[in-house]
Chain A
């Protein structure tokens, strides 16, 4: 085993200048900007659903959309805050109110209009396009989040991954409801809630491994 003074000497010899991280809120803003760009590109490519203006006047839809969006924003901010060592863990509670509104709204819609699936149901083509949107939104955002949060790997990997994936899930759900006419409530529930569960679950399974992959090398070489 290397002696501590030797280790200090070798670390000091390797002390290359580093760029300080920007404040967490600003980093969250950068990430959200990326999310906005991705959404805009998708909207240009796949066209916004035709009845968006009309649907936005319905309070249930508007509230659900706003709640999903704010869950995404708040969860992103919380993820960047908890990825720093000296910030309180209580920041994890930041997106909880918005999340509660979002999920309860989706649940409520589901309850009220349980039988509201149209006679044709949802066509397969639409579902496939939904899936395309899901992948196209979530993949770049997840990767960006993963790279930006890599410093959290030796500190609070679980909390940071959880918040990050919640942000990705909420933004993806917003994208889905912006771009696709899925009014069947079961589908709404499935897409909204399913996306959230999917990402949080994936993060739980692969989060640590992915972090090891992007994390600065020194941590795990000794384990």
Chain B
């Protein structure tokens, strides 16, 4: 309503006019500021460049938010534009206004990004938890009863055999590693592991043939 040139109430129109002219002045000043900063940045002034980028980042974010929904996308898009500006900063001509240059670059990058996302969506299917479950062999095999039984049997072994079995067979460490970890000698590890397997076999065979 404030921007309607044919507003009915004279007071409203007055307010509207004032607002828009203020906006205009503000944006013109801002544009001139940015032009000067960019011109200085082209000459290698790092402080000016940093200030310019810091000032345009929120503006770019608001532009990006019109096209992207996901906040991560918005931030990615902003960074994309910042990188592009950095690499083609020599194309800016300080005698021309800054905002159209900026907005043109931003729009091109946003559109490119949307197109790329569209292509990705067409070609790819996101991997869900369900897909993953089916890929893992455990999901398709009923192993838990066997496993519980085995674990129980292992727990019934004497402590030295248990340790040797866990280190060498379940964790698949080398003899040397297992020796350092457990403090047992290699020979005793070998012997204990062998005995453990023998005992387990006996226990499990006994159980399966009652």
Contact A218 B87, CB 8 Å, known A20-B42, A154-B108, A223-B116: yes
- Contact of B201 with A by CB under 8 A: no
Closest to B95 in A: A23
Tell me which residues across on chain A come within 8 A of B96, comparing CB atoms: 86
Interchain CA distance A218-B93 in the complex, whole Å: 21
Stretch touching chain A among B6-14, B45-53, B155-163, B188-196: B45-53
> In the bound complex, do residue A14 and residue B86 qualify as a contact, i.e. CB atoms below 8 Å apart?
yes
Smallest Cβ distance from A83 to chain B, in angstroms?
Answer: 8
Partner of A12, one of B49, B83, B105, B109: B49
- Contact of B43 with A by CB under 8 A: yes
Q: Which positions 62-86 of chain B face chain A at CB distance < 8 Å?
A: 72, 75-76, 78-80, 82-84, 86
Interchain CA distance A23-B44 in the complex, whole Å: 21
- Contact of A13 with B by CB under 8 A: yes
Tell me which residues across on chain B come within 8 A of A1, comparing CB atoms: 72, 75-76
> In the bound complex, do residue B87 and residue A216 qualify as a contact, i.e. CB atoms below 8 Å apart?
yes
Closest to A10 in B: B86
> In the bound complex, do residue A219 and residue B83 qualify as a contact, i.e. CB atoms below 8 Å apart?
yes
Tell me which residues across on chain A come within 8 A of B141, comparing CB atoms: none
C-beta contact mask, A2-22 vs B, less than 8 Å → 1, else 0?
A: 101101110111111111110
> In the bound complex, do residue A156 and residue B90 qualify as a contact, i.e. CB atoms below 8 Å apart?
no
Smallest Cβ distance from B95 to chain A, in angstroms?
Answer: 9
> In the bound complex, do residue A13 and residue B46 qualify as a contact, i.e. CB atoms below 8 Å apart?
yes
> Interface SS of chain B: helix, strand, loop or mixed?
helix
Q: Which positions 86-108 of chain A face chain B at CB distance < 8 Å?
A: 86
- Contact of B144 with A by CB under 8 A: no
Smallest Cβ distance from B80 to chain A, in angstroms?
Answer: 7
- Contact of A155 with B by CB under 8 A: yes
Q: Which positions 200-223 of chain A face chain B at CB distance < 8 Å?
A: 216-219, 222-223
Closest to B56 in A: A8
Interchain CA distance A156-B109 in the complex, whole Å: 10
Smallest Cβ distance from B121 to chain A, in angstroms?
Answer: 16
> What is the interface residue range for chain B against chain A?
35 or more
- Contact of A184 with B by CB under 8 A: no
Smallest Cβ distance from B165 to chain A, in angstroms?
Answer: 45
Partner of A154, one of B47, B84, B100: B84
> In the bound complex, do residue A86 and residue B101 qualify as a contact, i.e. CB atoms below 8 Å apart?
yes
Smallest Cβ distance from A126 to chain B, in angstroms?
Answer: 44
Tell me which residues across on chain B come within 8 A of A121, comparing CB atoms: none
Tell me which residues across on chain A come within 8 A of B88, comparing CB atoms: 85, 151, 154-155, 216
Tell me which residues across on chain A come within 8 A of B80, comparing CB atoms: 222
Smallest Cβ distance from B65 to chain A, in angstroms?
Answer: 14
- Contact of B3 with A by CB under 8 A: no
Partner of A85, one of B41, B72, B86, B104: B104
> Residues of B with Cβ closer than 8 Å to A?
41-47, 49-50, 53-54, 57, 72, 75-76, 78-80, 82-84, 86-94, 96-97, 100-101, 104-105, 108-109, 112, 116
Query: 5 nearest interchain CB pairs?
Result: A17-B44, A12-B50, A216-B87, A85-B104, A86-B101
Q: List 12 A-B contacts (CB under 8 A).
A: A4-B75, A4-B78, A7-B79, A12-B46, A14-B86, A17-B44, A18-B90, A19-B90, A154-B105, A216-B87, A219-B84, A222-B80
